[in-house]
């Protein structure tokens, strides 16, 4: 519909050009009408009316009336049988009224289409403005939390920094939000790159740790994009905190694909999890709950390679292209499973494994 904005909302063409195009449209209709009459031998006018309607719909009332006048002239020429009788006058008068009525209907349809397009354009602007303000509010809130973290204990500062990073992911969703008709979607390629890059900037690993993001250029609905971004944030944060102790070198790879289902993989070549343990901290709990919201499956894999262990968190989400997704509010992210997310997180705040101090495994931060 956006491609029709210049035609319907703006009179960008000069009057002479609009009338000239209308005349060309009517010429095509007249040729078709005459060709049909030559083939069948039956006079008619019906192929002239679409040209009148099209001219009035695309341009304006004047173009529609001009096209109607051409249609009446062509109709009179086609139906002329050598004399002007009562039948000729009655038939062409009726056609003239019909052509004028068609031009008026086209003008009415154009006005309605213009009203709908203006409303659609206004709604898109308002949604973009709302997204911009929401992003700014989240950024301000994250900044306030970081300021508060400077005056607290190390444990409190770590928890507040983790909260600020999660708010930053939410803000990133609005930064990449694309509003199309009734759908709000996010370009995952740029969004995921920004999420991972800002996690690295925030944590600033002491060792030479590189990251790679492998993601196609596709869109997800904003609520699914937010869940994917939050999951990636938690997994990458966990890797940077615990996979590379003592300035250990390594790399973190984040892969997102959209084959039959959305697949997210976060892997690193760090120290890996301790044998027989599984992540059980607050970050892992968030990952599990968000995976439930996506109706997906979460698995952890470990590959033993000489000199290091490769750890990979793999998530298979039950969601597809944004055109088939139901749009929901971001606040509905807090309603996952049988109990609200905030209540489940509050209940799990004390259930974490902590860091395994022998450099043979890692767990989530005690947030």
- pLDDT score, position 24: 92
User: Average of pLDDT values for 326-345?
Assistant: 31
Q: How far apart, in whole angstroms, are the C-alpha atoms of residue 251 and residue 363?
A: 18
In order of start, what are the domains of the chain with their CATH numbers?
2-117 (no CATH), 183-347 (3.30.565.10)
User: Average of pLDDT values for 13-17?
Assistant: 83
Q: How far apart, in whole angstroms, are the C-alpha atoms of residue 181 and residue 295?
A: 26
**Structure confidence by residue, pLDDT tens digits, 28-60:** 988 888 888 788 776 677 888 889 998 888 888
- pLDDT score, position 361: 38
Q: Is residue 182 pLDDT above 60, yes or no?
A: no
Q: Is residue 178 pLDDT above 70, yes or no?
A: no
**Structure confidence by residue, pLDDT tens digits, 262-306:** 888 888 887 776 655 556 677 788 888 888 888 888 888 776 555
Residue with tokens 């250029």: 217
Give the torsion through C-alpha atoms of 126, 128, 132, 137, to 10 deg. 60
Judged by average pLDDT, the poorest of 92-96, 234-238, 328-332 is 328-332
Q: What is the 3-state secondary structure (H, E, C) of the chain?
A: CHHHHHHHHCCCCCHHHHHHHHHHHHHHHHHHHHHHHHHHCCCCCCCCHHHHHHHHHHCCHHHHHHHHHHHHHHHHHHHCCCCCCHHHHHHHHHHHHHHHHHHHHHHHHHHHHHHHHHHHHHHHHHHHHHHHHHHHHHHHHHHHHHHHHCCCCHHHHHHHHHHHHHHHHHHHHHHCEEEECCEEEEEHHHHHHHHHHHHHHHHCCCCCEEEEEEECCCEEEHHHHHHHHHHHHHHHHHHHHHCCCCCCCEEEEEEEEECCCEEEEEEECCCCCCCCCCCCCHHHHHHHHHHHHCCCEEEEEEEEECCEEEEEEEEEECCCCHHHCCCCCHHHHHCCCCCCHHHHHHHCCCCCCCCCCCCCCCCCCCC
- pLDDT score, position 323: 38
Say which residue, 178 or 245, is predicted with more confidence. 245
Residue with tokens 């937010």: 226
């Amino acid at each position: 519909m956006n491609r029709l904005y210049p035609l319907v909302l703006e009179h960008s063409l000069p009057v002479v050009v609009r009338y000239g195009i209308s005349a060309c449209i009517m010429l095509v209709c007249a040729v078709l009408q005459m060709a049909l009459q030559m083939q069948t031998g039956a006079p008619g006018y019906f192929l002239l009316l679409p040209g009148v309607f099209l001219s009035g719909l695309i341009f304006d009332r004047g173009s529609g009336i001009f096209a109607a006048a051409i249609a009446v002239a062509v109709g009179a020429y086609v139906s002329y049988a050598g004399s002007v009788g009562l039948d000729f006058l009655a038939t062409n008068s009726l056609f003239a009224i019909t052509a004028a009525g068609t031009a008026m209907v086209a003008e009415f349809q154009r006005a309605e289409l213009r009203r709908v397009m203006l409303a659609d354009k206004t709604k898109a602007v308002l949604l973009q403005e709302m997204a911009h303000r929401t992003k700014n509010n989240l950024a301000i809130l994250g900044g306030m939390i970081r300021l508060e973290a400077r005056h607290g204990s190390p444990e409190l500062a770590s928890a507040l920094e983790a909260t600020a990073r999660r708010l930053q992911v939410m803000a990133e969703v609005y930064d990449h939000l694309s509003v199309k008709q009734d759908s709000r979607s996010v370009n995952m390629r740029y969004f995921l790159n920004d999420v991972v890059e800002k996690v690295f900037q925030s944590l600033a690993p002491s060792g030479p740790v590189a990251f790679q993001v492998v993601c196609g250029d596709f869109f997800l609905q904003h609520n699914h994009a937010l869940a994917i971004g939050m999951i990636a944030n938690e997994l990458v944060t966990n890797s940077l905190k615990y996979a590379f102790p003592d300035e250990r070198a390594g790399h973190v790879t984040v892969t997102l694909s959209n084959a039959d289902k959305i697949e997210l993989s976060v892997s690193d070549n760090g120290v890996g999890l301790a044998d027989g343990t599984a992540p059980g901290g607050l970050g892992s709990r968030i990952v599990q709950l968000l995976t439930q919201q996506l109706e997906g499956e979460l698995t952890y894999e470990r590959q033993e390679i000489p000199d290091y262990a490769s750890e990979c968190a793999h998530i298979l989400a039950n969601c597809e292209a944004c055109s088939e997704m139901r749009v929901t509010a971001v606040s509905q992210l807090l309603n996952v499973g049988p109990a609200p997310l905030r209540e489940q997180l509050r209940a799990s705040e004390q259930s974490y494994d902590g860091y395994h101090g022998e450099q043979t495994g890692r767990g989530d931060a005690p947030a």
